[in-house]
Amino acid sequence: MTARLFPDDPQFAHASEELFVRTLRDQLPDDAAVFCNVRLSGRSQDREADVVVAWPGVGVAVVEVKGGSVSLQRGEWRQGGDGTDRVIHPVDQAVSCKYLLCDYLAEHPRWSAGRPRTAHLVALPATTLASDFMAPGLARWMAIDTTDIPHAAARIRAALDKVRDEPDPPSAEDVEALVDCLAGTAIPQQHLLAQLAEREAACDLLTRDQAKVLDLLASFPRVEIRGGAGSGKTWLAVEKARRLAADGQRVAIMCYSRGLAEFLKRRVETLPKRQRPGYVGTFHNLGIGWGVAPGSDDDSRYWEEFLPAAMVSLAAELPEGERFDAIVIDEGQDFAQSWWDAVLAALRDPDAGSLYVFSDEGQRIFARQGRPTVDLMPIPLNENLRNTKQIAGTFSSLAPEQMRIRGSSGVPVRFIQCSSEDAVEAADDVADALLGDGWPPESVALLTTHQRHPVQRERQEDGQDAYWETFWQDDEVFYGHVLGFKGLERPAVVLAVNGFRDEARAKEMLYVALSRARDLLVVCGDMDLIRRVGGEAVARRLLDSLAQTH
């Protein structure tokens, strides 16, 4: 029998105190918990409970421990040792800590069991009390002296059995909840949240450094900025649109995917009104807003041919105020050849209007092909800023150009070997474990490479708009497919490599998939498939991470 001890290595003022705690721990059952030096604060006082014992089926004991020589003289408790002699108040401290603990649990959101059976005791592990000892507020059965140490746990049980008018003792589940409240996810989660906030701030500062690119290109109206994953292209796209709007131009910022479009909208909403673009959304929704009849999601001909052609015709009839001085396109490699005529037609001056395109040829994961039909000045971005060095190193061999990795160092990428058929189940287990470790749900995404996760399919039954709303909810893990997640990121991504519908596009999809995590990446899948798709460099990186975790 050995109870759990929190923290693992507590500090003690006297050797006798440490001996008491270690001995007590060894006497308690495995499902009990011993907490040392628990800081408790109330409206008018701040106390530290020396020891709290949580014992399923028995109760919760708050024990004030006083080492050295302790005596009660003329109604005054005194503690001596090492040449000192001072007044102490062990009973008052024990009582105060007991009530502060009960108040703390009553207010804690993770505690729902009501007040547990609770008692306060005083332990004097280096002092021997008389057999007939009794003091105000401290009967002999509430005190543990040096003669009681060999059976300290039994003394605590007896004290909890004696207390009157107390509720029922806590169950095993209640003790686990108490562990959570005093030493569980609450504190580590705050630490984790602080780490995530610092990492996000560092990423944003690095990304803002890229603004110097826009400074140098301010006088050039037509530019294509090409950058690998994590290079800050989306941030630059929003920043360019903001600058153009601030100059008084009517601006559109658009992309292909719904998820990225919603992200752009929310980013733009934080800008001052005079700096907001006139249109933010998908290329296709711009045409539907002009009056093109909506089509079916399954009708590829509508999206690839009919709608763009209709947009060209409608653009010529638009009032001058509804067209744009400048257009900014994010993830431009997603645009089909037939769409560019509609893009240019949306400009007030198709021949000279500003056009900024942000693209990454390595992320061309859709079967369509297309390049802008006008000359654009190519500008490369060759720095990865938004992924940790470990994550960026995993996918760097898949990038179209060699990238300088400037992100901070983080934890190793984790790889879990399993079949493609078992990848989703393995990823579910990992996501659950991350939540158990204190990761906030809104920081975690579970992505698949082939069949959609059952939760994603269920959420999409309410429509795409409702589904993408879940990306912003702070109480759920986001479930998505790599195809729809391009341009987005999460601090933690669990990737289920559950196959590929089209292996001709599998390399590009793997590149996108591996680059969506900012701080933590866990890959679940079959190494033979990953090696065949991503090459030996990716496989070696993942196998190295597997070795580090064993």
Determine the average pLDDT of the residues in 545-550. 55
Q: What is the residue extent of each domain of the chain?
A: 4-185, 220-381, 389-547
Q: In this predicted structure, what is the pLDDT of residue 135?
A: 87
Per DSSP bridges, beta strands 118-124 and 59-65 are parallel
The answer to whether the beta carbons of residues 63 and 156 sit under 8 Å apart is: yes
Average of per-residue pLDDT across 432-449: 92
Beta partners for residue 65, in sequence order: 123
Residue 88 has pLDDT above 80, yes or no: yes
**Mean pLDDT, to the nearest integer, of 38-52?**
84
283 closest CA partner among 346, 366, 348, 326: 346
Looking at residues 66-83, what average pLDDT do you find? 84
Name the band, by pLDDT with cuts 50, 70 and 90, for residue 185. Answer: very low
Q: Which of 464, 505, 501, 482 is nearest to 282 (CA)?
A: 464
Instruction: Kindly report, residue by residue over 348-402, the tens digit of the pLDDT.
Output: 999 999 999 999 988 888 877 788 989 999 999 989 889 999 999 999 999 988 8
Q: How far apart are the first and last CA of the chain?
A: 29
Q: Which residues of 284-309 are buried (b: 16+ CB within 10 A; e: fewer)?
A: bbbbbebebeeeeeeeeebbbebbbe
What does the pLDDT look like over 162-177, one tens digit per residue? 987 889 999 999 999 9
**Is the Cα torsion angle 502, 508, 513, 516 positive or negative in sign?**
negative
Domains 4-185 and 220-381 share a fold: no
Instruction: Provide the 8-state DSSP code for 451.
Output: S
CB within 8 Å of 150: residues ≥ 6 apart:
23
Contacts of 279 (CB under 8 A, 6+ apart): 251, 252, 253, 254, 286, 289, 324
Q: Which residue has the tokens 């015709």?
A: 313
Reduced to 3 states, what is the DSSP secondary structure of residue 58? coil
Q: From its phi and psi, is residue 416 left (phi > 0), alpha (psi between -120 and 50) or beta?
A: beta
Classified by CATH at the fold level, domain 389-547 comes out as Rossmann fold (3.40.50)
CATH architecture of the domain with range 220-381: 3-Layer(aba) Sandwich (3.40)
- CATH code of the domain occupying 4-185: 3.40.1350
**Residue 257: predicted pLDDT:** 92
pLDDT band at 548 (very low <50, low <70, confident <90, very high): low
For the cut 70, the answer to whether the pLDDT of residue 491 exceeds it is yes
pLDDT of 546: 64
- Listed in sequence order, the residues at least 6 apart from 12 whose beta carbon sits closer than 8 Å to its beta carbon are 18, 21, 36, 67
Predicted TM-score (pTM) of this structure? 0.66
Question: Tens digit of pLDDT for each residue in 278-297?
Answer: 999 999 999 999 999 988 88
**pLDDT above 70 coverage of the chain, percent:** 96
Query: Could you tell me the CA-to-CA distances from 26 to 2, 101, 393 in Å, in that order?
Result: 5, 24, 47
Q: What is the mean pLDDT of the chain?
A: 90
Residue 220 structure tokens: 């050039």
Phi, psi of 60 (to 5 degrees): -120, 125
Whether 220 shows a pLDDT value over 70: the answer reads yes
3-state secondary structure of 368: coil
Residue that is written with structure tokens 């719904």 in the block: 258
